[in-house]
């Protein structure tokens, strides 16, 4: 059974980068929540604090920096589209550049998700777990 059985209305390459980022944000959030629940401390406050170390704009921008040398030309193009997209909103706790890189990060996740490139998506998501402050 495929729990998420609603494909996008058009090919992923043709979707607005902010739409890809919207989906990528949700995919990444679920990935991180599953990760923190796999750890030993299940107190809700601890889960939330640990999750925010990964899902903040700053953390996502850092993860994207780690990804950049590993991206294909196609993936780099998607990242550029996401970075250059004008969202009309700003992050509460990040500067403009971090926020744009965070959007690019989420855009690529959404793209790989809709393209069903599961192995590649999992590889990059696992790299995002490697925090600089650990």
**What SS3 class is residue 1?**
coil
Burial (CB count <10 Å: 0-12, 13-18, 19+), residue 1: exposed
Catalytic residue numbers read 25
- DSSP label of 129: T
The dihedral of CA 87, 107, 24, 91: what is its sign?
negative
**What SS3 class is residue 63?**
helix
- DSSP label of 107: H
Q: Which residue has the tokens 């590649």?
A: 120
């Amino acid at each position: 059974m495929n729990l998420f059985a609603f494909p996008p209305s058009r090919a992923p390459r043709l979707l607005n980068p902010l739409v890809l980022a919207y989906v990528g944000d949700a995919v990444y959030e679920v990935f991180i929540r599953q990760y923190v629940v796999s750890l030993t401390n299940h107190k809700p406050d601890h889960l939330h604090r640990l999750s925010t170390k990964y899902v903040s704009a700053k953390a996502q921008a850092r993860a994207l920096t780690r990804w950049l040398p590993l991206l294909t030309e196609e993936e780099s193009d998607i990242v550029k589209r996401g970075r250059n997209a004008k969202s009309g909103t700003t992050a509460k706790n990040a500067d403009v550049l971090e926020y744009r890189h965070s959007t690019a990060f989420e855009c690529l996740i959404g793209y790989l998700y809709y393209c069903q490139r599961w192995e590649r998506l999992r590889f990059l998501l696992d790299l995002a777990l490697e925090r600089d402050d650990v």
